[in-house]
A and B are shown apart, each in its own frame.
Chain A
Amino acid sequence: MLELFAQGFANVFSPFCLVLMVLGTVIGIIFGAVPGLSSVMAIALFLPLTYGMDPGQGLSVLVALYIGSVSGGLVSAILLKIPGTPASIATCFDGHPMLARGEGAKALGAGVFYSFLGTIISVVALMFIAPQIAKVAINFGPHEYFAISIFSLMLIATLSSGSMVKGIFSGVLGLAFATVGIAPLDAVKRFTFGTVALSDGFDVLTVMIGLFAVSEVIKIAEVAKREKASDVAQVNMKVKGFGFTVKEFIQQIPNAIRAALVGLGIGILPGIGAGTSNLVAYTVNKNADKKHSDEYGKGYIGGIISSETANNASVGGAMIPLMTLGIPGDGVTALLLGAFMVHGIAPGPLLFQNYGPLVYTIFVACLVATVLMLVIEWYGMHIFAKVLKVPRHILLPIVFVLCVVGAFGLSSRVFDVWAVLIFGVIGYFFTIFKVPQAPFVIGFVLGSMAETNFRRGMMMSDDNFLDFFTKPIAAAFLIFTLVYFLYVVVKEIKKAQARKTASGQAV
């Protein structure tokens, strides 16, 4: 094994490969940070270039892009309150309040450091226990996928700090938008109003940039005129290290571990990944971290740690089924699979055995890319912060244009741009009525997965719904969902009663 490692190092540390990896990481971070540009675009851009390279080097570059892009989303999430990718939605919750409090540097520093940690943990898992945990993925059939998507939805819908009804409505509306288009299984057209464009439904990128970015542009219009020219946010970038103390690091170890486990666990399941894991980890930690539960969402470092550790842990997680089973979990890993196939290598159970040197080259590339990401983002923090020196009335229209071209670039049609606008308007109404946006996005992402697998499961079980409760994994998730829901409802009612008595005493 050491020999293979040495070989991997030799491959990656060729000057050509290293230069490309640095470039890949930088471009990945940019694609991750700019709303409208996605990891898939970044990798699709580089994929043809790797055709002509040696497979190990080609994949190293793609891995660098992947790792960079998942992490890059944190920059815009913290600085602009617009997540660059769905993987950083939960980073906004605490990142932006921290920035507003003048702790932008600390927020960025924590995000960067825990992105690094999350990736390293998942890569180590990939290296040492991949075949064992890949078996978990095989045990997930339609019944289990249905159960876990319902479980994740419930967790995230009840996350909202304000009204639970609003949180759940947001999730349900996301689910409703996911039903637009061709129905799973029987291919019935739903809510298409006779148009071809709607038969494909909406793309998740349009949902996300609409809800977060465009609504932010409309919102800025509310106050733009009143804003004083001098009201430009200033970030003090003079910090030591990553901005947080050793004490905080020790305190946050449990949060980081939980987030890493959630990220890894969700990452290995094909079909769900970093976009879901960051929010699930955030919710789990908010509930588990009892002492600081109320600080989440108000600029608590633990929130950023939860989100950024989990989303990057999902990267290594997603690589596990790809490399041990040959099964891609999302658009990015599907492209990576393509990169293998072009060289005549079909990843599968024998990949480690037949292509040992290649596998170890990829492992080393993951580690190197993670370190590169850490170094580049740490130095880059100072450059990112300069973005905030650009007045908002200049910056946000430019962000909007990037969203428009990003949406258009999905499949070269203006329909997707209109979709962005529609979701922007919805997002704006959400901010007026203080409805959280995150459940909508997750409802949308998991909606078609939940429905498709529900119907597939029913078909497999000859329409016997009880099968969802006789399969142990599915049953466990569904029962836990139910119990958790009751727990939250009881808590809500108690809180309402407490408020009532408090106001009663006041009168």
Chain B
Amino acid sequence: MKTQKMQDQIFGVIVLAVAAFYTVFTFLIPLKEGSDIINARTVPLLLAALMWVLGICQLVTARKADTKPLDKEARDLRTVLKTAVLIVVYIALFEPVGFLITTMVYLFLQFIFLTPADKKPNYLFYGIISLVVSLFVYTIFRYSLDIILPQGLITFF
């Protein structure tokens, strides 16, 4: 992603890839017998066609795009990746382990991951906040919104 042109081209390719994916699955939509001209595939086909057109437009205009290097935006991909994995694990364990435990652990770890480099993580403070937020949210949902969040291992309240 060094130049605007490259970025625009990559985007064009992504659009075409999405279009291809969507087109294939549109043709896999089952049709009912006697479906007339307008059926469950009509609108998806129209959208797929639009995506192809947009992808091509994007690639065509990208040819004339700026080739000057973009400002270097350093993305801290390590932290992004750690956060993404943490979120996936959190959601995966949300139901089996239960809201309280997973949320506490998620918050605690997420606070640590996102702590600015020039600041030391304050574990005690993070722990307390994680605990308080989880308990507070659970109680509010359970007792005032009547929504039972996954209880998992803690089934006693």
A176 beta carbon closer than 8 Å to chain B: yes
The residue in chain A whose Cβ has the minimal distance to the Cβ of B104 is A401
Chain B positions within 8 Å of A175 at CB level: 43, 47
Contact A186 B32 (CB under 8 A): yes
CB distance from B81 to the nearest CB of A (A): 9
Q: Considering the chains assembled together, what is the distance between the CA atoms of A214 and B87 in angstroms?
A: 10
Pick from A179, A228, A412 the residue with the most CB of B within 10 Å.
A179
Q: Is the interface of B mostly helix, strand, loop or mixed?
A: helix
A397 beta carbon closer than 8 Å to chain B: yes
1/0 per residue, CB under 8 A from A, across B61-72: the answer is: 100000000000
Chain A positions within 8 Å of B11 at CB level: 166, 433, 435
CB distance from B124 to the nearest CB of A (A): 14
Q: Residues of B at under 8 Å CB distance from A?
A: 7, 10-11, 14-15, 18, 22, 25, 29-32, 35-40, 42-44, 47, 50-51, 54, 57-58, 61, 74-77, 79-80, 82-84, 87-88, 90-91, 94-95, 99, 103, 106-107, 110-111, 113-119, 129, 133-134, 137, 141, 144-150
Q: Given A401-B106, A433-B7, answer yes or no on A229-B61 (Cβ-Cβ < 8 Å).
A: no
Pick from B43, B61, B80 the residue with the most CB of A within 10 Å.
B43
Chain A positions within 8 Å of B39 at CB level: 186, 188
Chain A positions within 8 Å of B117 at CB level: 225-227
Contact B84 A218 (CB under 8 A): yes
The residue in chain B whose Cβ has the minimal distance to the Cβ of A418 is B91
- Which single member of B30, B75, B88, B113 contacts A188 (CB below 8 Å)? B30
Contact B115 A393 (CB under 8 A): yes
Contact B116 A176 (CB under 8 A): no
CB distance from B17 to the nearest CB of A (A): 12
CB distance from B142 to the nearest CB of A (A): 11
Contact A393 B111 (CB under 8 A): yes
Chain B positions within 8 Å of A424 at CB level: 87
The residue in chain A whose Cβ has the minimal distance to the Cβ of B30 is A188
CB distance from B126 to the nearest CB of A (A): 8
CB distance from B125 to the nearest CB of A (A): 9
Chain A positions within 8 Å of B83 at CB level: 217-218, 221
The residue in chain B whose Cβ has the minimal distance to the Cβ of A193 is B25
1/0 per residue, CB under 8 A from B, across A404-423: the answer is: 11001100101001100100
Q: Is the interface of A mostly helix, strand, loop or mixed?
A: helix
Contact B76 A414 (CB under 8 A): no
Contact B79 A222 (CB under 8 A): yes
A78 beta carbon closer than 8 Å to chain B: no
Q: Considering the chains assembled together, what is the distance between the CA atoms of A214 and B90 in angstroms?
A: 14
Pick from B32, B83, B87 the residue with the most CB of A within 10 Å.
B87
Q: Considering the chains assembled together, what is the distance between the CA atoms of A479 and B53 in angstroms?
A: 22
- Which single member of A172, A421, A463 contacts B91 (CB below 8 Å)? A421
Contact B129 A394 (CB under 8 A): yes
Closest 9 CB pairs of A and B: A393-B114, A188-B40, A183-B40, A397-B110, A224-B114, A229-B119, A221-B83, A409-B147, A221-B79
Chain B positions within 8 Å of A414 at CB level: 91, 94-95, 150
Contact B116 A229 (CB under 8 A): yes
Contact B103 A401 (CB under 8 A): yes
- Which single member of A188, A231, A404 contacts B31 (CB below 8 Å)? A188
Contact B75 A176 (CB under 8 A): no
Q: Considering the chains assembled together, what is the distance between the CA atoms of A169 and B8 in angstroms?
A: 13
Within 8 A of B (CB), among A196-227: 214, 217-218, 220-227
1/0 per residue, CB under 8 A from B, across A175-198: the answer is: 110010001001011110000000
Contact A398 B107 (CB under 8 A): yes
Q: Considering the chains assembled together, what is the distance between the CA atoms of A177 and B141 in angstroms?
A: 29
- Please count how many residues in chain A sit with their CB below 8 Å of the partner chain's CB atoms: 61
The residue in chain A whose Cβ has the minimal distance to the Cβ of B120 is A229
Contact A398 B79 (CB under 8 A): no
Q: A227-B117, A405-B99, A421-B87 are in contact. List 20 more A-B contacts (CB 8 A).
A: A45-B146, A169-B54, A172-B47, A175-B43, A175-B47, A188-B31, A218-B80, A222-B75, A393-B114, A393-B115, A394-B129, A397-B107, A397-B111, A397-B114, A402-B137, A404-B103, A414-B150, A421-B91, A433-B14, A455-B42
Q: Considering the chains assembled together, what is the distance between the CA atoms of A204 and B31 in angstroms?
A: 27
Contact B44 A176 (CB under 8 A): yes
Chain A positions within 8 Å of B15 at CB level: 169
Contact B40 A221 (CB under 8 A): no
A363 beta carbon closer than 8 Å to chain B: no
Chain B positions within 8 Å of A222 at CB level: 75-77, 79-80
A137 beta carbon closer than 8 Å to chain B: no
Q: List 17 A-B contacts (CB under 8 A).
A: A176-B51, A186-B39, A188-B40, A189-B30, A220-B114, A221-B76, A222-B76, A226-B116, A227-B117, A392-B114, A397-B107, A400-B110, A401-B106, A404-B90, A404-B91, A412-B148, A418-B91
Within 8 A of B (CB), among A364-401: 391-394, 396-398, 400-401
Chain B positions within 8 Å of A179 at CB level: 43-44, 47
A476 beta carbon closer than 8 Å to chain B: no
CB distance from A409 to the nearest CB of B (A): 4
Chain B positions within 8 Å of A189 at CB level: 30
The residue in chain B whose Cβ has the minimal distance to the Cβ of A448 is B43
CB distance from B127 to the nearest CB of A (A): 12
Q: Considering the chains assembled together, what is the distance between the CA atoms of A421 and B90 in angstroms?
A: 11
Q: Considering the chains assembled together, what is the distance between the CA atoms of A34 and B31 in angstroms?
A: 42
Chain B positions within 8 Å of A144 at CB level: none
Chain A positions within 8 Å of B134 at CB level: 401
The residue in chain A whose Cβ has the minimal distance to the Cβ of B48 is A176
